[in-house]
Structure 1
Amino acid sequence: MIHRLARAVGMVTLFMLAPAAFAAGEKSGLDTVRGWVTYADGSRRMASMTDAELQVADPAHPPDVVVDEARSYQPFAGFGAAITDASAWLIQTGMDPKARSAFLEEMFDRENGLGLSVTRVTIGASDFSLRHYTYADTPGRAKADIESARIHLIPTLKEMRAINPQLRIIASPWSAPAWMKDSGSLIKGRLRPDRYRDFAHYLVSYARAMRKAGVPVDMLTIQNEPHFEPADYPGMRVEPMERAAFIAGELGPLLRKRLPGVKLLDWDHNWDEPESPLAVLADPAAVAYVDGVAWHCYGGDVAAQSLVHDLHPDKETWFTECSGGGWSGDWERAFGWTVSRLVIGAPRNWARGVVMWNLVLDKSSGPHLGGCGNCRGLVTLDTASGELTREPEYYAFAHASRFVRPGAVRISSVSGEGEEGALEHVAFRQAGSGEIVLIVRNAGKMQRRLQIVQGKRAFGAELPAGAVATLAWDGQ
């Protein structure tokens, strides 16, 4: 039920075209448009908009957004957030069973909650862990032992999947075990070429163990942020030619043999270095094993996703990490940026799924061991009171995750003449029902009276400056 996400603090007007807008002999169709809006300052969040009816479009009323369901693009798996060790620990130890169940229902239920459908987990420790470790810390023993994951992580994932059986899991290593690296440490260093086979065995045995535990991994990335060596938490630098050699010589063939349904994603780093995944995809031996490219938000522009996609249209695009935090600015700035770049920008640039970093953190931006000391999750948990604070990124994702179902397809939405930059939007057609969902942001500084056109039908909405609306109606 939408009331769990919306605050009934006011209504925003949708308007119908006047009867004169009908062409002679045309019928209106009388389809109901459903809408929800969040204001830029957060004063209204997921508020229901008044019903309107789709009408036959009149050329005398120039459109602001034109939706064309005949032009379709990539299938879409959904939105989500990572279950780091920190998030899993908080969910299992910071909430009593009733609170935990309510929280996970709110986050993952498709009918009554946020409807998150993609998550990401760390293979071993990240900075958001209570200790630094991998699942194969004993030298010479490459097979992953996931016993520690059975305490908090796996129970959480099982509860999530029970709520949303369509949940997809992406898994990423922050570091190879120390004994496989030239640094001899989880901190910094590179993967030793003589340990490529061991590392491939480690990753594949991890994915097999997770499947046996009842939480199968759908996608595997080779290395989190391979061009970054953090100073105080696990990380590993892996240059493009090293990744290509590792994929072609060891990981690709082993993954295809042992887990043929698991997809392999390269890069898993920022928009500002598209030449790195392009170098891997240029390798004739490695490219056959790479199913797609994963992206983060901490540098560059989201258009890099399209640059790589256009050169390799057969490879999938996934957006796998972005965090809000102390740098994000006030509510208005954080909310607007997240909608603009991630909810709208990432899918418009071919992403098949969009995943934020931590699902939940505590009021001290943790627990964490090294790394980011001012990150936040979609939700912040006060461990003393049990109170949950839903952050701006939560409401940004709610405008899409609550409505765009797994299996939906992105369709064309184009701004009217002179509207480029003033309006940001993305449209989807749901699988099965054919319902159309349009997310639109008024990026301008003044309230707008918009006309949305689809074929010979049109409707309108008044949208304040900086506001975001989700509009849904039956397709033609």
Structure 2
Amino acid sequence: MLLRSAVLACYACLPVACATPSGGPTPDAGLVEVWTTTADRRLALSPSTLATTAADGAGVDIEVDARTRHQRMLGFGASITDSSAWLIRHRMGEAQREALLRELFGRDGDGVGFEFVRLTIGASDFSRSHYSLDDPPDGAPDLELRHFSIAPNLEDVVPVTRQALAINPELRVMASPWSAPAWMKDSGSLVKGRLLPRYYDAFARYLLRYVDAYADEGIPIFALTVQNEPDHEPEDYPGMRFNAPERARFIGDHLGPLRDRRRPHLQIFDWDHNWDKPQEPLAVLADPAASKHVSAVAWHCYGGHVSAQAPVRDAFPDKDVYMTECSGGDWEPVRSGGLTLQARTLVIGTTRHWARGVLFWNLALDENGEPHAGGCDTCRGIVTIDSMTGAVTRTDDYYALAHASRFVRRDAWRIASTDTDDGIDNVAFENVDDGSRVLVASNSGDAPRTITVGDGGRTFAYTMPAKSVATFRWHPGGH
């Protein structure tokens, strides 16, 4: 059903009072809590409340149906890249650092409750230098991994991740390599090249050695991908082409069996690349030896359309879906699409197409999109840290994520809601801890829009400002 035209003259006239923090008690029966952010930041997670009314038999724009359940959610978050961790450790004071990490990973007060992060195994473009975790001084093969060391991470990534875990002990941490060590590749370099088959076993041991080393530092890794963006060989930062037949052999004959013996609860995700080549993960999942070791497909946003996630999941319904990287930045369509593009595509679109977890790219970058060693010079972080003062600015990506992460809890069900097609996008969830319902909606239009939402025998209406995102939370006890 098409949404009705805006009928309320002023969204600011809605009553504003006593909206509880996400960790607080549930609303009174019959009340809906609303948080709204506008693209111009006139509203920024601004709270209000409204009442529900008995359904009068008229149609609603969005019907929420908790009887139809889809995937259970793991969480939302971003990557603690080397660059992000370095800024947090070296460009912020202790009090600033603690406040930022509590805001990002905590749920008390204004905490946005990130529950999912990604680390890089060795350097990415968002590192201050290029390195792997096994770089022998002479560059000779190191089959016994005698030179393996996570020393490059001990100053920044490890302490920041441990601090995040101290704030949220349930935080789930995944990790991805940008390249195997140079001595394992046909290029002899971290930049470009392919993994030589004779080193498949060594690379499998390298990845599990990383998991062991991080466990020793108090950081449990719950999932790995075997290669970041395996269909791309960057020109100026670590990368490695690793096509579907190669990944299938590596997972099926090497990493998978070793994982089963050493760390049977560690998950392996395939692909970790864009929506435009679903045939790549489909080929790996069609290989019986590899597929039995793969628990999920990981996606990036830089090519194709989010809808590609669903057919892969439909073909292999026993495999989970994750969005594991997308960066905001200064390019089209992100520049003009802004907040509502990020929300409707990366939060609403990915979860409507089965994603259990959603990760943006850098947790933090400075005012110049630094530091980085090659790669993207127009990317931004979830937050921007002033390199001189440590002051924090929150980006569109922060608000897009927070509209879900602050309100949708671990293990929440995505539930059915009407999929509209006229500029209002939405996704609905039911939290298992208190039974509350959460609806995230985005108005991409240039004018306010009134939406009516139905849940069982109750309805409510709200006028969304132009170019805005709103989160609604209510308790079915009011019905």
Question: Is 1:311 matched up with 2:315?
Answer: yes
Task: Give yes or no for the alignment of 1:96 onto 2:97.
Answer: no
For residue 447 of structure 1, report the CA deviation from its aligned partner. Answer: 2.1
| 2:422 match | 421
Q: Please list, as runs of the form range in 1=range in 2, the aligned pairs for 1:78-97 lying within 5 A after superposition.
A: 78-97=75-94
Counterpart residue number, 1:48? 47
5 Å matches for 1:327-346?
A: 327-328=331-332, 333-346=337-350
Aligned counterpart, 1:132 = 130
Tell me which residue corresponds to 1:384. 388
CA contact 1:14–1:462 (8 Å) conserved in 2: no
- Cα deviation, 1:364-394, whole Å, max 9, x if unaligned, reads 2111011111111011111112221111111
1:46-445 equivalences under 5 Å are: 46-49=45-48, 51-59=49-57, 61-112=58-109, 113-138=111-136, 139-140=141-142, 141-142=144-145, 144-328=148-332, 333-415=337-419, 419-445=420-446
Q: State the 1:53 CA deviation.
A: 2.1
> Could you tell me which amino acid in structure 1 is paired with residue 55 of structure 2?
A
What is the TM-score with the length of structure 2 in the denominator?
0.91
**Cα distance in 2 between the residues matched to 1:127 and 1:171:** 15
d(CA) in 2 for partners of 1:92, 1:170: 21
Closer, same or farther in 2 for the Cα pair 1:382/1:329, shift >3 Å? farther
Find the counterpart in structure 1 of residue 471 from structure 2: 470
Question: CA separation of 1:158/1:423 partners in 2, compared to 1, >3 Å: closer, same or farther?
Answer: same
Give 1:146 shift. 1.3
2-structure distance, mates of 1:363, 1:108: 22
Supply the AA of the counterpart residue of 1:78.
G
> Which range is displaced more, 359-368 or 330-339?
330-339
Give the gaps of 5 or more residues in structure 1: 1-9, 16-28
Question: Distance between the aligned counterparts of 1:270 and 1:330, measured in 2?
Answer: 16
Change (3 A) 1:458 1:332: farther
Task: Decide which moves more: 111-120 or 63-72.
Answer: 111-120
Q: State the TM-score, normalized to the length of structure 1.
A: 0.91
State the AA in 2 paired with 1:439.
Answer: V
Instruction: Return the alpha-carbon distance in structure 1 between the equivalents of residues 423 and 96 of structure 2.
Output: 42
CA deviation digits over 1:205-240, x for unaligned, max 9? 111111111001011001000000001110000010
Residues 208 and 259, structure 1, Cα contact 8 Å, conserved in 2: no
Q: Is the 8 Å Cα contact of residues 436 and 475 (structure 1) preserved in structure 2?
A: yes
The number of residues matched between the two structures is 449
C-alpha distance in 1 between matches for 2:334 and 2:185: 41
Is 1:36 the counterpart of 2:40? The answer is no
The answer to whether the 8 Å contact 1:14/1:460 transfers is no
Aligned to 1:24: none
Cα RMSD between the aligned structures? 1.7
> Kindly tell me: are residues 30 and 105 of structure 1, through their superposed partners in 2, closer, same or farther at Cα, counting changes over 3 Å?
closer
What is the CA-CA distance between 1:328 and the residue it aligns to?
4.8
Q: Whole-Å Cα distance in 1 between the matches of residues 399 and 327 of structure 2?
A: 14
Matched-pair contact (CA < 8 Å) for 1:84–1:128: yes
Query: Is the 8 Å Cα contact of residues 74 and 115 (structure 2) preserved in structure 1?
Result: yes
Deviation by residue 1:350-376 (Cα, 9 ceiling, x = unmatched): 001100000001112111011111111
Q: Check 1:379–1:136 CA distance in 2 against 1; reply closer, same or farther (3 A cut).
A: same
CA 1:93 to 1:74, structure 2 compared with 1: closer, same or farther past 3 Å? same
Question: For residues 240 and 13 of structure 2, what CA distance do their matches in structure 1 show?
Answer: 50
Deviations 1:69-100 (A, max 9, x none): 01011010111010000011111111111111
Counterpart residue number, 1:19: none
CA contact (8 A) 1:219 1:264 kept: yes
The aligned counterpart of 1:456 is: 457
The unaligned stretches of length 5 or more in structure 2 are 1-10, 17-27
Q: Could you say if the C-alpha distance between residues 459 and 239 of structure 1 is closer, same or farther in structure 2, counting changes exceeding 3 Å?
A: same
CA distance 1:331–1:387, shift in 2 (3 Å): farther
Separation in 1 of the partners of 2:13 and 2:163? 37
- The amino acid across from 1:72 in the alignment is R
The superposition leaves residues 238-264 of structure 1 with CA deviations (integer Å, 9 ceiling, x where unpaired) of 010000000011000101211111100
**Within-5 A mapping of 1:14-29:** none
Report if aligned partners of 1:241, 1:279 keep a CA contact under 8 Å in 2. Answer: yes
Equivalent residue letter for 1:130: R
